[in-house]
Amino acid sequence: MMKWLSALFLLLLTPVFAQQDWIRTGTGLGVEKVRLAVPDFKPSNQDPRNADLLKVFNDTLWNDLDNAGIFDMVSKSFMPTDTPANPTDVRFDAWNTPPPNASMLAFGNLGVLGNTLTVQGWLYDVKNVTSPQVLGKQYQDAPTSDAARITAHKFADEIIFRLGGGIPGVAESSIYFVSSRSGHKEIWAMDYDGVNQHQLTHLDSISLSPRISPDGARLAFSSMTKNGWDILMYSLDLNRLVTFPRFGGTNLSPAWSPDGTKLAFSSSRSGDSEIYLSDSSGANLKRLTAFKGPDVSPVWNRKTGSQISWVSGRTGLPQIYTMEADGTNDQRLTDEGYAVSPAWSPNGQFLVFSWIRHYGPGAPGAQDIYIMDIASRQWVQLTHDGGRNDFPCWSPDGRHIIFQSSRSGGEQIWTMLADGSNQKQLTFVGSNTQPNWSWK
């Protein structure tokens, strides 16, 4: 009864608290945002290649800082007309008073000389006129659009790291996902912002559930081979499959332990699907669960590596459970509906998962993303915009959640801040599902 009451209480308060980050993610979401001004970088010389590269750089930098979720971005229409390209150009009173009223100013210049692109960037605390410089960086790379984009990501991550409580930004991180746009479900990769989408596997079969290793070197996934569903291992260093044992039965949904030494996955090698554990080489196979019914989609506690959450159909409709990584002490976390696809937050405190909370004839049956505080079992609904929302996954900084949604028609990959705000679609071509965010 208490549980129901508290759930109801929570539901009633959700609209109010959604703005306030009731779940203290410890990631700076919901605290007062730093007011940041980011005028366009300026050309440092007359090279004709500067214009195109500046456009890429400026768009990327703005987008990264705007996406970060910790800044109150000063609208460009509030900025003074004479924006700085160098420290000597900065007029503090033009920035630290309204209308921009910025606390921080990021500015700089870009120029191509010969075969080198040089970017200089500064971050100034414009309220601190005597000692304003927080950051001063110079980057050199090839004069290509890709290099300009990557340089912008690097500078954005420096700013986010300095102003976001020392948590590294995610602008240089990657997303692995399943796309059917080649005609088969293959594993693809893209930058965190949806740019640079490219196909990794060419197996002409059905490949699902990509999971990147913590060091970013290997990608485990499940694929239908001539033997059935096997766990396959793709090396991002070698750009090809590397050997991994075949266990027999249906093998699904691999998950890396946070230290990268172990894999948990679902296997029906015994005739019933159960959660198994192996070394990252596939050796030392050990069964963790022993209940009749589907057991699938394990995920590790990313902070401790000592617990596993997964989905079990042992009582009928699938529910979210947790257990110790040795298979003991299983606990059921959800008590109704159809709950699948758990993902553990980097700080170990939360699970996000996909839930059709009221299931059955006559029920609305919306499938939405929910976040649950594991200790208190309190949860909050993060998506409210219709469609089937599934396969949430955390960003390495814990501030973002990526997921798949059918709200725009077909299945596409979306991103949002971990409090459910700023929902944005990242993929638009073909059907794109099961996003998995790199660990750094």
Partner 1 sequence: MKQQRLKWITLIFALGAVMMLGACKKKVAPPPPPPPPPPAAPTASLSAYPDAIQKGQSTTLTWQTSNATDVSIDGIGAVQANGSQQVTPADSTTYHLTAKGPGGTQDATARVTVTAPPPPPPPAPSPTEEELFARNVHDIYFDYDKYDVRADQQSTLQGDIDFLRQHPNVQFTIEGHCDERGSTEYNLALGDNRANSVKSALVQGGVSAGNIKTISYGKEKPVCTESNEQCWQQNRRGHFVYGK
For partner 1, the closer CB: 71 or 265: 265
What six digits make up the tokens of 350? 């939360």
For partner 1, the closer CB: 151 or 389: 389
Q: Say if strands 34-37 and 104-113 run parallel, antiparallel, or are unpaired.
A: parallel
Nearest distance, CB of residue 168 and partner 1, angstroms: 30
Nearest distance, CB of residue 261 and partner 1, angstroms: 23
For partner 1, the closer CB: 27 or 434: 434
Angstrom CA distances, 275 to 50, 310, 311, 323, 340, stand at: 54, 8, 10, 11, 15
For partner 1, the closer CB: 45 or 315: 315
Nearest distance, CB of residue 266 and partner 1, angstroms: 6
Nearest distance, CB of residue 356 and partner 1, angstroms: 8
For partner 1, the closer CB: 208 or 241: 208
Q: How far apart are CA 111 and CA 21, in angstroms?
A: 41
Nearest distance, CB of residue 284 and partner 1, angstroms: 23
Q: For the chain, give the longest Cα–Cα distance.
A: 73
For partner 1, the closer CB: 285 or 317: 317
For partner 1, the closer CB: 213 or 341: 341
Q: How far apart are CA 278 and CA 282, in angstroms?
A: 5
Nearest distance, CB of residue 337 and partner 1, angstroms: 11
Nearest distance, CB of residue 273 and partner 1, angstroms: 4
Beta bridge partners of 98: none
Chain residues that interact with partner 1, rule: CB under 8 A: 185, 206, 208-209, 224, 228-229, 249-250, 252-253, 266, 268, 271-273, 293-297, 311, 313, 316-318, 338, 340-341, 354, 390-391, 433-434
